[in-house]
Amino acid sequence: MKKALPIGQAAAQSGVQVPTIRYYEQIGLLPSPLRSEGNRRLYSEAEIRRLAFIRHARELGFGVDAIRALLALQDNPQRSCTEADVIARARLADVEHRIASLTALRKVLRRMITACAGGSVSECMVVEMLAENSQLRNPKKG
């Protein structure tokens, strides 16, 4: 086994910020590491790989609970990957929903820009469409 690394070096190798590493320990995604005689955290290669796994899962948009479940699966490699598949499919559904929302948003923005004549603000369709939409969402009571 290679020498355990202090938190700063573990952060550099894993790509995870020091405060984030501490947070992952607090919420149980990362076990409490060994401590030096001076009570400094020391991380093994396996813990650094786990941090990199967590970082990559976060980059893909997985939430803490999903990551916790994926780590549990990783810790038990003999288990079926069905649960991992379910988790990944749920994340994909979230991404596809977000893409659909962003596509709709893009259409609205393009319509607003196309409708803008480039004249004065009193004739600006961007401002007018935003004002109309805000009134629909916040109708005056009276």
What is the CATH number assigned to the segment(s) 5-64? 1.10.1660.10
CATH 1.10.1660.10 residue ranges of the chain are 5-64
Residue 126, pLDDT score? 76
Residue 137, pLDDT score? 59
Per DSSP, what are the bridge partners of residue 35? 41
| DSSP-based three-state secondary structure for 78 | coil
Q: How far is it, in rounded angstroms, from Cα 97 to Cα 91?
A: 10
For 108-130, how does the pLDDT look when each residue is reduced to its tens digit (9 = 90+)? 888 878 877 677 777 777 777 77
CB 47 within 8 A of CB 33: yes
Taking only the tens of pLDDT, the chain with its 142 residues reads 478 999 999 999 999 999 999 999 999 999 999 898 899 999 999 999 999 999 999 999 999 999 999 999 999 999 999 999 999 999 999 999 999 999 998 998 888 788 776 777 777 777 777 777 665 555 555 4
Residue 128, pLDDT score? 75
HEC assignment per residue over 102-119 = HHHHHHHHHHHHHHCCCC
CA 95 to chain CA mean position, Å: 11
Q: How far is it, in rounded angstroms, from Cα 36 to Cα 58?
A: 29
- Please count the other Cβ atoms lying within 10 Å of the Cβ belonging to residue 39: 6
List helix spans (H) across 1-139: 7-14, 18-26, 45-59, 64-75, 82-115, 125-137
Q: Answer positive or negative: Cα dihedral of 48, 52, 55, 61.
A: negative
Q: How far is it, in rounded angstroms, from Cα 79 to Cα 112?
A: 52
CB 112 within 8 A of CB 128: no
Residue 133, pLDDT score? 65
Residue 114, pLDDT score? 80
